Amino acid sequence: MNAASRPALPERTAAARLIVVIRGERADQYAPVLETLAGAGIRSVELTLSTPGTLEELPVLLERFGDRLDIGIGTVTDPADLRIAAERGAHYIVTPITRTDLFDAAAEAGIAIVPGGLTPSELHAGWAAGAAAVKVFPASVVGPGYLKDLRGPFPGIRVVPSGGVDLEAARTWLQAGAEAVSVGGPLLGDALRGGSLEALAERAAQFVGVTTREAGA
């Protein structure tokens, strides 16, 4: 993959500027949480391969939620898993690492990929390889000011911070020019452990209020 053939993030994800990362104990926990998130205005979720059964559950979830949500597959570290996710309809791929064989597999599948890194070398390597955006992980280590530093040598780079991004950090990263924010625990809370779905909907709506781009903005 190269920059000229860079697949973009799906339109709903780009407009929402918010990806909700869902990491559970079992894939059968996803559906009630996705239903609640979609109802609260969330438009993009990343289901993680560290949750057993995710690839098996993906087609069912896409059939049920695909008209309301972009569903990406995350924590992808094996090209074989990337190919299966793409074949089963994933809208985009997220990986915590920057590795050539994953870029090659994404290019072959024609799917947008968001690779992770922290150092300028890692982030530039992912961007130069044709990533839709690069994931700064863990974002809490560097903070939103890091984006300005990166844009000095890499003016066009698109960044999605991930790791420890709470409501206030989401606001400041987006103000700094992040493409989107990737949010897990601060939004999900205890929803995957039997916590209140009503409280989840309230938290989700707060994040949607901060991240959704206003018309014409």
Domains of the chain: residue spans and CATH: 3-211 (3.20.20.70)
Per the residue annotation, which of 135, 168, 198, 214 is the catalytic one?
A: 135
- Predicted confidence at residue 144, as pLDDT, reads 96
Contacts of residue 197, Cβ cutoff 8 Å, sequence gap at least 6: 32, 33, 36, 191
Dihedrals phi, psi of 182, to nearest 5 degrees = -110, 120
211 CB-contact burial (10 Å; exposed 0-12 / middle 13-18 / buried 19+): buried
Amino acid at 80: A
- Count of helix runs (H) and strand runs (E) in the chain: 10, 8
**Would you call 148 a catalytic residue per the annotation?**
no
**Residues 76-82: contacts with CB within 8 Å, 24+ apart?**
76/49, 76/102, 77/49, 77/102, 79/104, 79/105, 81/49, 81/55, 82/106, 82/109, 82/111, 82/113
**Would you call 135 a catalytic residue per the annotation?**
yes
Closest C-alpha to 164, from 144, 184, 145: 184
- Predicted confidence at residue 4, as pLDDT, reads 56
- Predicted confidence at residue 212, as pLDDT, reads 87
Amino acid at 167: L
20 CB-contact burial (10 Å; exposed 0-12 / middle 13-18 / buried 19+): buried
Per-residue pLDDT of the chain (217 residues; tens, 9 = 90+): 555 568 999 999 999 999 999 999 999 999 999 999 999 999 999 999 999 999 999 999 999 999 999 999 999 999 999 999 999 999 999 999 999 999 999 999 999 999 999 999 999 999 999 999 999 999 999 999 999 999 999 999 999 999 999 999 999 999 999 999 999 999 999 999 999 999 999 999 999 999 987 533 4
pTM of the model: 0.95
Ramachandran sector of residue 110 (left: φ over 0; alpha: ψ -120 to 50; beta: rest): left
Is residue 33 classed as helix, strand or coil in its secondary structure? helix
What is the spatial distance between Cα 40 and Cα 42, in angstroms, rounded to a whole number?
6
Cα 79-81-87 angle, rounded to 5 deg: 105
**Distances, alpha carbon 115 to alpha carbons 3, 72, 123, 137, in Å:** 14, 13, 8, 10
Per the residue annotation, which of 11, 25, 35, 46 is the catalytic one?
A: 46
- Predicted confidence at residue 1, as pLDDT, reads 56
